[in-house]
Structure 1
Amino acid sequence: MALVYGFLLVAALGIGHHYGMLAVRGIKPDADDRPQAAIIVTFLGLLALHTIEILAFAGVYKVLLSWGGLGDLGGSYDASWDGLIYFSGINFATLGYTQIETSGPIRMINMMQSLGGFMVLTWSATFLYSVCERAWRE
């Protein structure tokens, strides 16, 4: 069941990321008219979007851990909000190698967050690259 939860969370991440990228595209200046501003606004917009996504997953972990039955976080996890943000961010941006250990079914959600983070980070990198390519055209 945890794999299904993870799949649904990553699906929601992808949908939210799509609309977040549309918002970034909507607020960035035209790369032909203001190339440097287009790059900076895109970068900062994507940074904000990824931060929101990490915070959202931290909130999900908080809820899932309070339910019980899906496992636990151990190791150096101190049961703080900062600890959940760190755990979520490490999972999102890497393969989840951290001093915080997972046990039980929540490991599947952890794994799926890493997959989803990899997917949206590469999606964002491709978008940023396309803005840079257009801005840096001679």
Structure 2
Amino acid sequence: MALFTGFLLAAALGIFHHFAILFIRLFTPHLGEQKHRGILTAFLGLLTVHTIEIIAYAAAYKVMVDAGWWGSLTGDFDGSFYDLIYFSGINFATLGYAQVSTDGAIRMVAMMQALGGFMVITWSATFIYTIWQDVMDHHWRLNPDRQQSAK
């Protein structure tokens, strides 16, 4: 049950992330003279999206911890939402270490969050790279003589 719940949460994370990237893309300008704005818009948009995703997982952990039968979070954990956000952020970034540890079925959800976090962070990096590539392609089209001197 816990692995399935973790899978569903990771799937919801991927779906949310997909539509968030589409939304961010609407606000990235069509390059031209605003090349830095496009990259910064994507970065700040993704930073916001990842923060929302981390907080959403923290809320899911809150429900599980309060229910009691999912297991518990132990160590330097006082039950505050602040600690849940910290735990969620560490898992999301797949760092795998924290002063907070899991005990019981909730471990499976945490493991699936780490997998989902790794996937969407990689996805985000690819998205930013794609925007950067568009900027560089646009730059070289406007300055073909610079492209030759760069080789």
Which residue of 1 is the match for residue 148 of structure 2?
Answer: none
Which residue of 1 is the match for residue 143 of structure 2?
Answer: none
User: Cα RMSD over matched residues?
Assistant: 0.9
Which residue of 2 is the match for residue 67 of structure 1?
Answer: 67
Which residue of 1 is the match for residue 104 of structure 2?
Answer: 104
Alignment map for 1:48-67 (pairs within 5 Å): 48-67=48-67
Q: Which structure ranks higher in relative contact order (CA pairs < 8 Å, sequence separation ≥ 6)?
A: 1
- TM-superposed CA distance for 1:96, in Å, is 2.5
1:24 equivalenced with 2:29 (yes/no): no
| Structure 2: distance between partners of 1:96 and 1:80 | 20
| Structure 2: distance between partners of 1:18 and 1:103 | 31
Does the Cα contact within 8 Å between 2:94 and 2:115 map onto a contact in 1? Answer: no
Does the Cα contact within 8 Å between 2:42 and 2:128 map onto a contact in 1? Answer: yes
Structure index of larger Rg = 2
- Paired residue secondary structure (1:136): helix
Question: Could you tell me which amino acid in structure 2 is paired with residue 51 of structure 1?
Answer: T
Question: Could you tell me which amino acid in structure 2 is paired with residue 104 of structure 1?
Answer: G
Does the Cα contact within 8 Å between 1:31 and 1:131 map onto a contact in 2? Answer: no
| Percent identity over paired residues | 54
1:87 equivalenced with 2:87 (yes/no): yes
- Paired residue secondary structure (2:29): coil
| Structure 2: distance between partners of 1:96 and 1:86 | 12
Deviations 1:49-79 (Å, cap 9, x if unpaired)? Answer: 0000000000010011111111000011111
- TM-superposed CA distance for 1:33, in Å, is 4.4
| Structure 2: distance between partners of 1:78 and 1:96 | 19
Equivalenced residue count is: 138
Deviations 1:8-53 (Å, cap 9, x if unpaired)? Answer: 0000000000000011001111134421100000000000000000
- TM-superposed CA distance for 1:97, in Å, is 1.2
| Structure 1: distance between partners of 2:32 and 2:62 | 44
| Structure 1: distance between partners of 2:79 and 2:65 | 10
1:114 equivalenced with 2:114 (yes/no): yes
Does the Cα contact within 8 Å between 1:75 and 1:101 map onto a contact in 2? Answer: yes
| Structure 2: distance between partners of 1:25 and 1:33 | 17
Deviations 1:79-107 (Å, cap 9, x if unpaired)? Answer: 11110000000000024311101000000
Does the Cα contact within 8 Å between 2:28 and 2:42 map onto a contact in 1? Answer: yes
Which residue of 2 is the match for residue 41 of structure 1?
Answer: 41
Question: Could you tell me which amino acid in structure 2 is paired with residue 50 of structure 1?
Answer: H
Which residue of 1 is the match for residue 13 of structure 2?
Answer: 13
